[in-house]
Structure 1
Amino acid sequence: MTQKYAVVLAAGQGTRMKSKLYKVLHPVCGKPMVQHVVDQLNKLDLDELITVVGFGAETVQDQLGKDSHYVVQEEQLGTGHAVQQADNILADKEGVTIVACGDTPLLTESTLQNMVEHHIQTEAKATILTAHAEDPTGYGRVIRGGNGEVERIVEQKDASKDEQAVQEINTGTYCFDNKFLFEALQNVSNDNVQGEYYLPDVIQILQNQGETVSAYQTTDFSESLGVNDRVALSKAEKLMKKRINEAHMRNGVSIIDSDNTYIGPDVSIGQDVTIYPGSIVDGKTLIENDVTVGPHSTITDCHIGPGTVVKQSVATNSLIGSGVQIGPFAHIRPDSSLGNDVKIGNFVEVKKATFGEGSKASHLSYIGDADVGSGVNIGCGTITVNYDGHNKYMTTIEDDAFIGCNSNLVAPVTVGKGAYVAAGSTINKDVPAEALSIARSRQTNKEGYASKFQSNKKD
């Protein structure tokens, strides 16, 4: 079985982005560009993946973590020089090496895999990933011979009129016989205007040695897009969004307005899910069957069970059961868990709280650092008073309890099973099971006071 390696070029500063954020870390559909590239490559069951870092090295390593090994290109002396930094790790190994740029987020696993297979089948020492461009202006042209093998790559400025008419372009992604790659790199010269060592020069060196150079043409031109400025970044975002949304629709998801729905690349969605306009679903969210999202909902890193509705609300890093009703205008903050058939209504905020099956907080409440049992009704305006300015404390509401409107539950406190808390109460002591707790001032009526008050105002 052929050993497979990859080198990701991610050392350039990206000055045209005009940003303090390192270029390859700019996100496309919520994920940094270089992470897109590494994720697709790692699906190929690689034996080694190396990312060449330079500017912003630490931030790139923080992002990719254990998804890659790293080498540093201290001086930016061209793409050939960048690949050479992996010499100590790869040079003596047998197999195939893919070289891809960290600013090409639209590359796909299937295209990369097809390129590798084509490379092996043609017994080539180098294979260029190409694409058909309706307007090839600015791209290097791939000139083929009569037998279909690549004769040369001609840059736009060096191309003749006939060569400029060629619409097959070099995407900048390659596949090499690993040993031949690193041997050829030793012979790459920097005798050019920029004084840099260019990776495409390896192609000419291999051809001069009589070695086979082939090309594999992707069917999707968008995969060739390299992001060098904010205009290209916006284009990549649009293309990626379209690709993601179309894939979900083909798998049984109804996206009412695809142009105004944003779904991250790592989101999983079941069948018969409906997503309304203005919604954002990202992170590693999992949405099961028959869920309704939106309009204008934002869901990040959540697991949502079947039949749940999240309407005009925000949910983050939480577990949401089946048949749950959320919103409109609710906020489910991190580390919350909502059991089946829970209702979280308008202007309710839940933070680090657990709700048992069938419990309800229908409107205008804050439930934070709380363990709410099943069958609990939390009335309008209820607050779990969880913070004393230094520490957070827990509120426990046991099964079937009823919390009246405008109640303050001052933690740490427990409301027992089946207990009632009267409306307007401030509870700072435990309430026994089945008890009624009333904690409010006695009402006093002063007869005739209003008339006397109005008379004093006139004087």
Structure 2
Amino acid sequence: MDQWAAVIMAAGRGSRMQSNVPKVLHTVCGKEMILYSIERLSDAGITSLIVVVSESNYEPIKNVVGDGVEYVIQSDAKGTGGAVQTVLSVMESGVEHVLVHGADMPLVSEQSLRSLILSHTNDDHQITLLTSEIINSTDLGRILRNDQGDILSIREASEIVDANDISSEVNLGTYCFTRGILEDSLGRLNVKENGELYLTELIEIGCAQNVRIGSVYASNTNESLGVNNRVQLSQVESVQRKILLERLMIRGVTIRDPETVYVDADVNVGKDSTILPNTMILGDTKIGTGCVVGPGSTIKDSVIGNDCRVNNSCIERSVVNENVEIGPYSHIREGCTIGSNAHIGNFVEMKETVFGEFSAAGHFSYLGDADISGSVNIGAGTVTCNFDGENKLKTVIGKGAFIGCDTMLIAPVEIGAQAATGAGSVVTRDIPTARLAFGVPARIVAEDKNN
């Protein structure tokens, strides 16, 4: 599709969002709206993507989207017609067909875009529109046809006096144009009272010149839902979330109560896993097969191995290996790696900690900035005292060590392999391999702890 280019409209002020964030950077299921448009247009086969931005939103949009697209700045707010005029003036000469799409329509599917492109090409249209039956939007223009079904014009939403006295077919703001039509007709657009040029007027101009105009219905009526305010944002997110959950269920994931489960767009869950009610799986999270997550759990930007159980707990930016039990009511903060077959019980908090395989922390403990080897037992009430008021300091615990209840480990400190601490100890210095220490401050027993 070397002769195609897609123009993504992202320069609008979005004043109804009542936000300092550009409208197209508001997220739907954890992903910025504009990214849906870019990904689906790319998946539909268009490689030349041009994003129309304003002077004020160029930098924040580029920070999210990156350098994989071309940017055109619309200096003057002259509407959709003005935006396409600006793009056309800098478009490469080899482009013969232009697809125009609004970045605030994140539900428009790849399937609909492919159908639109195919119809435009195979039916030799000069203009092809993506349309749908109206759901509940009052922001979309209506398609006007004659008795033969030919498209005559688009009536803008602001021009509709009685919505019940007009067609229920709406314009989704996604079009295909031949380059020749744009070059011939954009200069004929009339300036509206608000100073803008409306791209929709090209339909009426084309009709008067017997231009070949076609249309394609969107694959699903929900694709007509766009975002102009926070209410519509929530409606679109609800639809997209349902799509994501159904996709997971079709792929073999059990979701007991989809109404109370929230997943983001980049989440991946393996088959035979179960997601229980009141659970949120967010960001770039990958969950293996045979897991049970929830109820009441939150996992964000983390990797969870196969056969894990996360019960009423929170995991952030961490890696959990296979066959691990976590919870209830534990918090795995960012930077943790949990080894296979580990057990983390209730009210345990970890941060920047490696927790070895077969190790256990069964009850209310804080483990921060720690490197804990395999087969270690952490007694209830253990705290790694990792902050001296200025710096975060490290605790190292060797393989097979036994940390007694209510032990305070004053970092930096190292507990040797097979070493042990007595209950209530305050450990201020290293404990050698296989030695016992207890007391306040802890003193090392002379003999090997096994004797």
* Fold shared per TM-score above 0.5: yes
Q: Which residue of 2 aligns with 1:288?
A: 288
Could you tell me how far 1:359 is from its partner in structure 2?
0.9
TM-score of the aligned structures, taking structure 1 as reference length = 0.89
Counterparts of 1:156-305 in structure 2 under 5 Å? 164-190=165-191, 192-305=192-305
Per-residue CA shift, 1:325-364, capped at 9, x if unaligned? Answer: 1111111111111111111111111111111211111111
Q: Which residue of 1 aligns with 2:351?
A: 351
Paired residues of 2:426 and 2:441 also in contact (CA < 8 A): no
Measure the CA separation in 2 of the matches of 1:441 and 1:155. 78
Q: Which residue of 2 aligns with 1:113?
A: 114
Could you tell me how far 1:210 is from its partner in structure 2?
3.6
Measure the CA separation in 1 of the matches of 2:353 and 2:135. 55
Measure the CA separation in 1 of the matches of 2:164 and 2:152. 12
Q: Which residue of 2 aligns with 1:82?
A: 83
Q: Does 1:403 align with 2:406?
A: no
Measure the CA separation in 1 of the matches of 2:227 and 2:57. 17
Paired residues of 2:382 and 2:407 also in contact (CA < 8 A): yes
Counterpart residue identity of residue 231, structure 1:
V
Paired residues of 1:91 and 1:179 also in contact (CA < 8 A): no
Paired residues of 2:144 and 2:153 also in contact (CA < 8 A): yes
Could you tell me how far 1:170 is from its partner in structure 2?
0.8
Q: Which residue of 2 aligns with 1:59?
A: 60
Could you tell me how far 1:178 is from its partner in structure 2?
3.8
Query: Which segment is superposed worse, 401-410 or 197-206?
Result: 197-206
Measure the CA separation in 2 of the matches of 1:99 and 1:263. 30
Pair 41,58 (structure 1): closer, same or farther in 2 beyond 3 Å: same
Counterparts of 1:410-421 in structure 2 under 5 Å? 410-421=410-421
Measure the CA separation in 2 of the matches of 1:187 and 1:91. 22
Q: Which residue of 2 aligns with 1:141?
A: 142
Q: Which residue of 2 aligns with 1:388?
A: 388
Paired residues of 1:24 and 1:102 also in contact (CA < 8 A): yes
**Equivalent residue of 2:115, what SS?**
helix
Per-residue CA shift, 1:261-318, capped at 9, x if unaligned? Answer: 1110111111111111111111111111111111111111111111101111111111
Q: Percentage identity across aligned positions?
A: 38
TM-score of the aligned structures, taking structure 2 as reference length = 0.91
Q: Which residue of 1 aligns with 2:440?
A: 440
Measure the CA separation in 1 of the matches of 2:4 and 2:127. 14
Could you tell me how far 1:135 is from its partner in structure 2?
6.4
Measure the CA separation in 1 of the matches of 2:135 and 2:236. 18
Measure the CA separation in 2 of the matches of 1:202 and 1:296. 52
Measure the CA separation in 2 of the matches of 1:292 and 1:257. 14
Number of matched pairs: 442
Query: Which segment is superposed worse, 87-96 or 16-25?
Result: 87-96
Measure the CA separation in 1 of the matches of 2:226 and 2:380. 53
Measure the CA separation in 1 of the matches of 2:168 and 2:247. 28
Paired residues of 2:134 and 2:224 also in contact (CA < 8 A): no
**Equivalent residue of 2:239, what SS?**
helix
Paired residues of 1:143 and 1:163 also in contact (CA < 8 A): no
Measure the CA separation in 1 of the matches of 2:211 and 2:243. 37
Could you tell me how far 1:43 is from its partner in structure 2?
2.5
Paired residues of 2:135 and 2:221 also in contact (CA < 8 A): no
Counterpart residue identity of residue 85, structure 1:
T
**Equivalent residue of 1:389, what SS?**
coil
**Equivalent residue of 1:103, what SS?**
coil
Could you tell me how far 1:374 is from its partner in structure 2?
1.0
Pair 378,136 (structure 1): closer, same or farther in 2 beyond 3 Å: closer
Q: Which runs of 5+ in 1 are unaligned?
A: 443-459
Per-residue CA shift, 1:141-176, capped at 9, x if unaligned? Answer: 324467765333234676799994433211111122
Could you tell me how far 1:137 is from its partner in structure 2?
6.1
**Equivalent residue of 2:328, what SS?**
coil
Q: Which residue of 2 aligns with 1:93?
A: 94
Paired residues of 1:135 and 1:167 also in contact (CA < 8 A): no
